[in-house]
Structure formats: C-alpha cells, structure tokens
Amino acid sequence: MTSVLTVQEVRINEEIDIVHVRQAVREVAVSIGFSLVEQTKLVTAASELARNTRVHGHGGEAKIDLEKADDGTTTLRLVFTDNGPGIADVELALTDGYSSAGGLGLGLSGARRLADEFDLRTAPGEGTTVSVGFRARKPARG
C-alpha cells in the first residue's frame, strides 16, 4: 500500500509560472532531504516539462506528489497535465535532437533520463500527461 500526498499544485500559463514550478519543486525536494545533485536534476526536469506544458500544451498544470511506500522509501512525483494538441508520434518526440519548437530537442528525452520513473500518456487531440518520479535515496525522516 502506497500513500500519496499531493503537496502542491501550480497552474502553468505564463513564462513566470515555470519559475514558480521550479521554486515549488525545489522547496519540496529540500523538505524531504534530497541532495544538491538530486535537487538540481529534479528542478531541471521540472523546468523542461513545465516549459513543454506551456509551449506545446498551451498551458496546463503541475502537481507535486509525495508517495510513501511501505518499505519506507519516498518518491517525489511530478505530474504535468495539459489539454493541448497531444503528441502524434511519441517515439519521435522522445528522440534526442528532435524538436518541433526550435529547441535543442532534449527536453522530454532528457527529463526521462534525469528521472527514476517516467510515464507519458498522450493522444492526438487529447492533451498530454507526463509523470516523472524521483526516489529519495534514504527514507525521509518524520
């Protein structure tokens, strides 16, 4: 049995909201004792996915969940949801160097490499939900 606690939800509409997402994520990561390297990975992945939500999904929402498993491990999960056009070719979207927006084409694939768990649900016209999980290396206190 895994208990899930939604810590924070952030709307993503403007460029400045990406900064809000990053700050919220960093705050939560610090509170459960993530190391500096883990924090940086987490914040960078959040930044990529939040920007995708804004640019490709035309805005949406970020949710920060804390999952506590029975064995004591804590997973910080970020769920980005938008109601945008969706992704037609998921494999292509996850290919390094492919970008439909003139970027480096590493955002989505890079976020997948940074995270411990990665899940992408999308269909043309049905929006996109990306979920990334980062496991705390040691059981969180409290």
107: contact with other proteins by CB under 8 A? yes
59: contact with other proteins by CB under 8 A? no
Of residues 56, 34, 32, 37, the one with CA closest to residue 105 = 56
Considering just the CA atoms, what is the radius of gyration of the chain in Å?
A: 15
- Cβ proximity to other proteins, 8 vs 47, nearer residue: 47
Question: 32 Cβ partners below 8 Å, 6+ apart?
Answer: 66, 74, 76, 136, 140
What is the rounded CA–CA span in Å between residue 14 and residue 136?
A: 30
Q: Which of 22, 56, 68, 77 binds other proteins (CB under 8 A)?
A: 22
- Cβ proximity to other proteins, 12 vs 111, nearer residue: 111
104: contact with other proteins by CB under 8 A? yes
- Cβ proximity to other proteins, 5 vs 101, nearer residue: 101
Tell the smallest beta-carbon distance from residue 4 to other proteins (Å).
26
Q: Which of 47, 73, 83, 95 binds other proteins (CB under 8 A)?
A: 47
Question: In what order do the strands lie in the sheet containing 60-68?
Answer: 3-12, 60-68, 74-82, 128-135, 117-122
Question: 44 Cβ partners below 8 Å, 6+ apart?
Answer: 110, 114
24: contact with other proteins by CB under 8 A? no
Which residues contact other proteins by CB under 8 A? 15-16, 18-19, 22, 36-37, 39-41, 43-44, 47-48, 51, 96, 103-104, 106-107, 109-111, 113-114
